[in-house]
Amino acid sequence: MVILMLGAQGTGKGTVAGILSENLGWPQISTGDIFRKNIKEKTPLGIEANQYISKGELVPDEITVPMVVERLNESDAKEGAILDGFPRNIAQAEKLEEILSQKDKKVDLVINLTSPEDEIITRILNRRVCSNQACKTTYNLTMHPPKEQGICDKCGAELMQREDDSDKEAIQNRLNIYDEKTLPLVEFYRKKGVLRTEEISEKTGRLGNDVAQDVIQEIKSK
């Protein structure tokens, strides 16, 4: 089964994908995590990708698509995978369909998360991520803080703020790019009958964990 996470930065895609992955046993494939790993290790891919990410811009398809293809070919993605941050545009979605069809697979479910923009910006500015790449647990200093300041509850590693999470102007740019290039995917997948839209908001009280648990129950009941 292939699940896609759609939604602007800060809507909780990583949180929901992480809970699904832990409960279903399928890998959470995040292009952002792979990019950040390469940037930290200063690989050729990381250096090239960072030229775009540091400005809040999308990494071009010719860099992103081959990377995702390689990841989907790994053994742990055989039974299922949760794609977090890919595809980001119609061209990538069409390429993904082509790749999956070659494996006799398809996109089974697209979870589209929405949130008020003011909440999104506040969440991103307060987001902290475990520096241990094997953990990658995400925290929010106001909504979901760690028990010990600056330390991951799960593995004890230091928490960090992503470079592209500290600049409000870059965050706004990312949201604008999402509206322009990625939002059309909502209609693309709606027409295919696999779209599920959920609002994540402090005002309604429905958060990422609620959505994830509902999806898990529905999948396991089938």
Say what the pLDDT of residue 99 is: 86
**Could you say which of 36, 71, 95, 174 is catalytic?**
174
Q: Six-digit token pair at 54?
A: 């540091």
Q: What single-letter DSSP state applies at residue 88?
A: -
Q: Six-digit token pair at 148?
A: 């010990």
The DSSP bridge pattern shows strands 138-140 and 127-130 to be antiparallel
pLDDT band at 215 (very low <50, low <70, confident <90, very high): very high
Concatenate the DSSP letters of all residues of 152-209 into one string: -TTT-PBEE--GGGS-HHHHHHHHHHIIIIITHHHHHHHHTT-EEEEE-BTTTTB-HH
Say what the pLDDT of residue 111 is: 97
pTM for this predicted structure: 0.80
Confidence check: pLDDT of 98 > 80: yes
162 is catalytic: yes
Say what the pLDDT of residue 25 is: 94
Confidence check: pLDDT of 54 > 90: no
- Per-residue pLDDT of 30-42, as tens digits, reads 887 778 777 888 8
Say what the pLDDT of residue 202 is: 86
**Could you say which of 88, 95, 128, 136 is catalytic?**
88
**CA dist 67 → 21, 96, 196 (Å):** 20, 12, 26
**Could you say which of 95, 123, 127, 136 is catalytic?**
127
- Per-residue pLDDT of 143-198, as tens digits, reads 789 999 999 999 999 999 988 898 888 899 889 988 888 888 999 999 999 999 99
40 is catalytic: no
- Per-residue pLDDT of 107-147, as tens digits, reads 999 999 999 999 999 999 999 999 998 888 888 898 789 99
Angle, to 10 degrees, between the axis of helix 184-191 and the axis of helix 90-102? 40
Say what the pLDDT of residue 75 is: 92
**Could you say which of 13, 36, 71, 136 is catalytic?**
13
Do the Cβ atoms of 115 and 12 come closer than 8 Å? yes
**Could you say which of 105, 162, 181, 196 is catalytic?**
162
Side-chain-side CA neighbours of residue 197 (13 Å): 10
174 is catalytic: yes
**Which domains are assigned to the chain?**
2-119+182-221 (3.40.50.300)
Say what the pLDDT of residue 27 is: 93
N-terminal to C-terminal alpha carbon distance within the chain: 12
Average pLDDT for the chain: 89
